[in-house]
Amino acid sequence: MRVKVVSCFALFSLIVAFLMPGAAAGGWASAALVEDPDSITAGKPFTVRYVVRAHGIVGHELEGMRTSVQFTHRETGQRVEAIGKDTANPTVYEVTATLPISGGWKWTVVIHNFLSDQAIDSPMPTLNVTETGQPATGFAQGSGMTTVVTITDSGFPPSSLQIQAGEVVTWVNEGRMAHQVAADALGFETSPTIQPGEAFFQTIVKPGTYDYLCPPHPFMTGSIVVT
Protein backbone atom coordinates (compact mmCIF):
# COMPACT_ATOMS: atom_id res chain seq x y z
CA MET A 1 0.00 0.00 0.00
CA ARG A 2 2.83 2.35 0.91
CA VAL A 3 4.53 1.64 -2.44
CA LYS A 4 1.35 2.50 -4.30
CA VAL A 5 1.00 5.84 -2.48
CA VAL A 6 4.60 6.76 -3.26
CA SER A 7 4.29 5.88 -6.92
CA CYS A 8 1.03 7.82 -7.25
CA PHE A 9 2.78 10.83 -5.80
CA ALA A 10 5.73 10.36 -8.17
CA LEU A 11 3.37 10.17 -11.13
CA PHE A 12 1.52 13.26 -9.96
CA SER A 13 4.82 15.13 -9.58
CA LEU A 14 5.83 14.09 -13.07
CA ILE A 15 2.54 15.36 -14.53
CA VAL A 16 2.86 18.65 -12.66
CA ALA A 17 6.45 19.05 -13.83
CA PHE A 18 5.38 18.33 -17.40
CA LEU A 19 2.45 20.75 -17.35
CA MET A 20 4.38 23.51 -15.59
CA PRO A 21 7.96 23.48 -16.82
CA GLY A 22 8.18 27.07 -15.62
CA ALA A 23 8.01 25.90 -12.05
CA ALA A 24 11.46 24.40 -12.52
CA ALA A 25 12.75 27.25 -14.70
CA GLY A 26 11.77 29.91 -12.15
CA GLY A 27 8.63 31.42 -13.63
CA TRP A 28 6.47 31.90 -16.69
CA ALA A 29 9.24 33.62 -18.60
CA SER A 30 12.92 34.32 -18.40
CA ALA A 31 15.44 36.35 -20.34
CA ALA A 32 18.58 35.05 -22.02
CA LEU A 33 21.43 37.02 -23.55
CA VAL A 34 21.77 36.87 -27.33
CA GLU A 35 25.54 37.29 -26.99
CA ASP A 36 27.89 38.08 -24.15
CA PRO A 37 28.34 41.83 -23.76
CA ASP A 38 31.65 43.29 -24.90
CA SER A 39 33.97 44.64 -22.26
CA ILE A 40 32.12 47.45 -20.48
CA THR A 41 33.83 50.68 -19.46
CA ALA A 42 32.50 53.02 -16.78
CA GLY A 43 30.90 56.10 -18.30
CA LYS A 44 30.64 54.65 -21.80
CA PRO A 45 27.29 53.58 -23.27
CA PHE A 46 26.91 49.91 -24.12
CA THR A 47 24.12 47.79 -25.55
CA VAL A 48 23.01 44.31 -24.59
CA ARG A 49 20.49 42.17 -26.46
CA TYR A 50 18.30 39.49 -25.00
CA VAL A 51 15.35 37.26 -25.76
CA VAL A 52 12.40 36.43 -23.53
CA ARG A 53 11.48 32.75 -23.41
CA ALA A 54 8.21 31.27 -22.19
CA HIS A 55 9.13 29.09 -19.23
CA GLY A 56 12.76 29.44 -20.27
CA ILE A 57 12.32 26.97 -23.15
CA VAL A 58 14.55 27.46 -26.18
CA GLY A 59 12.36 27.94 -29.25
CA HIS A 60 9.57 29.59 -27.23
CA GLU A 61 10.78 33.17 -27.63
CA LEU A 62 8.07 35.74 -26.91
CA GLU A 63 7.38 38.74 -29.13
CA GLY A 64 6.05 42.12 -28.12
CA MET A 65 7.06 41.92 -24.47
CA ARG A 66 7.49 44.98 -22.30
CA THR A 67 10.79 44.75 -20.47
CA SER A 68 13.04 46.92 -18.41
CA VAL A 69 16.48 46.39 -16.97
CA GLN A 70 17.79 47.21 -13.49
CA PHE A 71 21.51 47.41 -12.80
CA THR A 72 22.74 47.54 -9.17
CA HIS A 73 26.33 48.35 -8.21
CA ARG A 74 27.45 45.65 -5.78
CA GLU A 75 29.46 47.87 -3.46
CA THR A 76 27.41 51.07 -3.28
CA GLY A 77 23.94 49.86 -4.15
CA GLN A 78 23.69 52.54 -6.84
CA ARG A 79 20.94 51.63 -9.28
CA VAL A 80 20.51 52.37 -12.96
CA GLU A 81 17.35 51.47 -14.83
CA ALA A 82 16.66 51.42 -18.54
CA ILE A 83 13.69 50.54 -20.72
CA GLY A 84 13.99 47.58 -23.08
CA LYS A 85 13.50 48.47 -26.74
CA ASP A 86 12.43 46.45 -29.77
CA THR A 87 14.90 45.51 -32.48
CA ALA A 88 14.39 44.51 -36.12
CA ASN A 89 14.02 40.94 -34.89
CA PRO A 90 10.66 40.80 -33.06
CA THR A 91 11.91 38.30 -30.51
CA VAL A 92 15.07 40.23 -29.67
CA TYR A 93 15.13 43.22 -27.29
CA GLU A 94 17.94 45.56 -26.48
CA VAL A 95 18.86 48.08 -23.88
CA THR A 96 21.47 50.82 -24.01
CA ALA A 97 22.80 52.08 -20.70
CA THR A 98 25.81 53.78 -19.17
CA LEU A 99 27.11 52.48 -15.86
CA PRO A 100 28.84 55.39 -14.13
CA ILE A 101 31.31 53.60 -11.88
CA SER A 102 33.56 50.58 -12.19
CA GLY A 103 33.15 47.31 -10.34
CA GLY A 104 30.63 44.50 -10.33
CA TRP A 105 27.08 45.33 -11.37
CA LYS A 106 24.29 42.86 -10.74
CA TRP A 107 21.48 43.16 -13.22
CA THR A 108 18.10 41.74 -13.93
CA VAL A 109 15.68 41.88 -16.84
CA VAL A 110 12.20 42.69 -15.56
CA ILE A 111 9.57 41.08 -17.77
CA HIS A 112 6.12 42.62 -17.52
CA ASN A 113 3.13 40.33 -17.96
CA PHE A 114 0.64 41.95 -20.31
CA LEU A 115 -2.16 39.87 -18.79
CA SER A 116 -1.67 41.19 -15.28
CA ASP A 117 0.34 43.61 -13.20
CA GLN A 118 2.79 40.86 -12.37
CA ALA A 119 6.39 41.32 -13.39
CA ILE A 120 9.10 38.72 -13.07
CA ASP A 121 12.78 39.33 -12.44
CA SER A 122 15.20 37.38 -14.58
CA PRO A 123 18.66 37.81 -13.01
CA MET A 124 21.61 37.86 -15.42
CA PRO A 125 25.33 37.18 -14.91
CA THR A 126 27.10 40.03 -13.08
CA LEU A 127 28.76 42.60 -15.33
CA ASN A 128 32.34 43.59 -14.63
CA VAL A 129 32.76 47.27 -15.46
CA THR A 130 36.29 48.56 -15.84
CA GLU A 131 37.63 52.00 -14.99
CA THR A 132 38.03 54.51 -17.78
CA GLY A 133 40.84 57.02 -18.13
CA GLN A 134 38.60 59.72 -19.53
CA PRO A 135 34.95 59.61 -18.51
CA ALA A 136 32.52 60.33 -21.29
CA THR A 137 30.29 63.32 -20.70
CA GLY A 138 27.84 62.50 -23.44
CA PHE A 139 24.57 60.80 -22.69
CA ALA A 140 22.26 59.28 -25.24
CA GLN A 141 19.16 61.42 -24.88
CA GLY A 142 15.93 59.50 -24.82
CA SER A 143 17.60 56.17 -24.10
CA GLY A 144 15.25 55.82 -21.14
CA MET A 145 18.10 55.43 -18.68
CA THR A 146 17.94 56.80 -15.19
CA THR A 147 19.85 56.42 -11.95
CA VAL A 148 17.50 55.57 -9.10
CA VAL A 149 17.72 56.94 -5.58
CA THR A 150 15.39 55.35 -3.08
CA ILE A 151 13.61 57.61 -0.63
CA THR A 152 13.01 55.85 2.66
CA ASP A 153 11.66 57.51 5.79
CA SER A 154 15.21 57.90 7.06
CA GLY A 155 17.33 58.80 4.07
CA PHE A 156 18.22 58.60 0.40
CA PRO A 157 20.07 55.33 -0.24
CA PRO A 158 22.53 55.36 -1.85
CA SER A 159 23.23 58.65 -0.09
CA SER A 160 26.20 59.29 -2.34
CA LEU A 161 26.22 58.60 -6.03
CA GLN A 162 28.25 59.48 -9.06
CA ILE A 163 26.73 60.23 -12.46
CA GLN A 164 27.70 61.76 -15.77
CA ALA A 165 26.51 65.26 -16.66
CA GLY A 166 23.25 65.06 -18.59
CA GLU A 167 21.99 61.93 -16.89
CA VAL A 168 18.60 61.57 -15.30
CA VAL A 169 18.22 60.88 -11.58
CA THR A 170 14.92 59.49 -10.31
CA TRP A 171 14.00 59.60 -6.63
CA VAL A 172 11.44 56.91 -5.80
CA ASN A 173 9.57 57.23 -2.52
CA GLU A 174 9.47 53.77 -0.98
CA GLY A 175 8.77 55.15 2.48
CA ARG A 176 5.46 55.56 4.29
CA MET A 177 5.66 59.37 4.56
CA ALA A 178 5.72 62.14 1.98
CA HIS A 179 9.13 63.64 1.23
CA GLN A 180 10.80 66.29 -0.90
CA VAL A 181 14.11 66.78 -2.66
CA ALA A 182 15.73 70.19 -2.27
CA ALA A 183 18.91 70.82 -4.23
CA ASP A 184 19.09 74.38 -5.52
CA ALA A 185 22.72 73.93 -6.50
CA LEU A 186 21.78 71.07 -8.81
CA GLY A 187 19.82 73.51 -10.94
CA PHE A 188 16.25 72.59 -10.13
CA GLU A 189 13.70 73.99 -7.73
CA THR A 190 12.65 72.05 -4.67
CA SER A 191 10.52 69.10 -5.74
CA PRO A 192 6.81 68.97 -5.12
CA THR A 193 5.72 66.77 -2.24
CA ILE A 194 6.51 63.20 -3.29
CA GLN A 195 3.88 60.87 -1.88
CA PRO A 196 4.64 57.22 -1.05
CA GLY A 197 4.90 55.30 -4.32
CA GLU A 198 5.55 58.45 -6.33
CA ALA A 199 8.76 59.44 -8.06
CA PHE A 200 10.50 62.67 -8.99
CA PHE A 201 13.12 62.89 -11.70
CA GLN A 202 15.52 65.52 -12.96
CA THR A 203 18.19 65.72 -15.63
CA ILE A 204 21.42 66.86 -13.95
CA VAL A 205 23.60 68.91 -16.25
CA LYS A 206 26.14 70.82 -14.15
CA PRO A 207 29.37 69.03 -13.21
CA GLY A 208 30.30 69.35 -9.55
CA THR A 209 29.56 67.87 -6.14
CA TYR A 210 26.14 68.70 -4.73
CA ASP A 211 24.41 68.05 -1.44
CA TYR A 212 20.65 67.81 -1.19
CA LEU A 213 18.13 67.18 1.57
CA CYS A 214 14.48 66.67 2.39
CA PRO A 215 13.13 69.99 3.80
CA PRO A 216 10.47 68.42 6.06
CA HIS A 217 13.13 66.00 7.42
CA PRO A 218 16.48 67.80 7.18
CA PHE A 219 18.31 64.80 8.64
CA MET A 220 17.64 63.08 5.31
CA THR A 221 20.58 64.06 3.14
CA GLY A 222 22.39 62.86 0.07
CA SER A 223 25.01 64.02 -2.36
CA ILE A 224 25.57 63.65 -6.08
CA VAL A 225 28.89 63.90 -7.83
CA VAL A 226 28.38 64.98 -11.43
CA THR A 227 31.39 64.49 -13.69
Which part of the chain contacts Cu ion (CB under 5 A), choosing from 107-115, 126-134, 142-150, 209-217? Answer: 209-217
- Find the shortest distance in angstroms from Cβ 202 to Cu ion: 17
Which part of the chain contacts Cu ion (CB under 5 A), choosing from 5-13, 132-140, 193-201, 214-222? Answer: 214-222
Residue 183 or 220 with smaller CB distance to Cu ion: 220
- Find the shortest distance in angstroms from Cβ 192 to Cu ion: 13
The full DSSP string for 77-139 is --EEEEE-EE-SSTTEEEEEE---S-EEEEEEEEEEPTTSS-EEEEEEEEEEEEP-SS-----
Residue 49 or 217 with smaller CB distance to Cu ion: 217
Residue 59 or 218 with smaller CB distance to Cu ion: 218
Cβ-proximal residues to 124 (8 Å cutoff; 6+ apart), any chain: 31, 33, 50, 107, 108, 109
- Find the shortest distance in angstroms from Cβ 190 to Cu ion: 12
| C-alpha–C-alpha distance, residues 165 and 204, integer Å | 6
Binding residue (CB under 5 A) for Cu ion from 168, 183, 214, 226: 214
Angle, CA 140 vertex, CA 136 and CA 146 arms, to 5°: 95
Task: State yes or no: residue 179 binds Cu ion (CB under 5 A).
Answer: yes
* b/e per residue 169-180 (b: at least 16 CB within 10 A): bebbbebeebbb
Task: State yes or no: residue 217 binds Cu ion (CB under 5 A).
Answer: yes
- Find the shortest distance in angstroms from Cβ 126 to Cu ion: 33
- Find the shortest distance in angstroms from Cβ 104 to Cu ion: 31
Q: Which amino acid is at 198?
A: E
* Site of interaction with Cu ion (CB under 5 A): 179, 214, 217, 220
